[in-house]
Structure 1
Amino acid sequence: MKTFFYLKSCSTCNRIIKELDLPSDIELHDIKSSPISEEQINHLKELAGSFEALFSKRAQLYKSENLKDKNLNEEDFKFYLLKHYTFLKRPVLVYNSHIFIGNSSKTVEAAKAFIQKNE
């Protein structure tokens, strides 16, 4: 699987797409127009190690639903990831059996180096 999960309307995601210079065989998956399936989220969890690693605690809904005050477990994280696209920490790049989650400069640089090495 070579997929880039992102939000089309997100300027940070679009900047990262350009910065990574993604190969043409990587599928761009807009999580708003095409929500992530349970099968996909389970696969991402296998690669990431947990649903929590995929979960964005910066999401507006995280704050507005007072989730920070709740003790969420893995099933809760999965539920919210499937409930609304905003809970996915983005972007997420899956390149075969490797996963890169989020938009930190360290993550983007690691993804860029990995892509260049594996093209």
Structure 2
Amino acid sequence: MKKIYHLSSCNTNQRILKELELGDDVELQDIKKENIDEKTLDFIKEKVGSYEAMFSKRAMKYRSMGLNEINLSEEDYKKYMLEEYTFLKRPFIIFDDEVFIGNSKKTVEAARKAYHGN
């Protein structure tokens, strides 16, 4: 499976998609229109080790909901990401058995190399 969960209204996500130079074999899913499903979230968690690693603490709602003031459990992170797309670190990139999360240069470059095989 080659799939990218992204936010189409995000300039950073748009830039990353261009940098990756993707072919027609990659499915794109705009998480604002259709949030990630639990099965996929669980798959990614198995690859990266925790739900917290997938959770965006930069999301505006993180502070406005007071989540920054409490200790969240792994189940809490999962629940919030399934309820609200803004809590997802983005993009989530799945290339077969490899998973890349976030928009750091290092992550984007690793995803590009994995996709193009170089």
TM-score by length of structure 1 reads 0.95
- Deviation at 1:113? 1.3
SS of alignment partner, residue 79 of structure 2: helix
Deviation string 1:58-116 (CA, Å, 9 cap, x unpaired) is 00011111111110110000000101000000011000110110001111111111111
Paired position in structure 1 for 2:88: 88
Deviation of residue 23 (structure 1)? 2.2
Partners of 1:23 and 1:99 in 2: how far apart?
18
Count of residue correspondences: 118
Q: Map 1:20-35 to 2 at 5 A.
A: 20-35=20-35
User: Tell me, which stretches of 5 or more residues in structure 1 are unaligned?
Assistant: none
**Which residue does the alignment assign to 2:63?**
63
TM-score, structure 2 normalization: 0.95
Q: List structure 1 segments (4+ residues) > 4 angstroms apart after TM superposition.
A: none
Please provide the CA RMSD for this pair. 1.1
Question: 5+ residue gaps in structure 2?
Answer: none
CA distance in 2 between partners of 1:41 and 1:28 (Å): 16
**Identity, % of aligned pairs?**
52
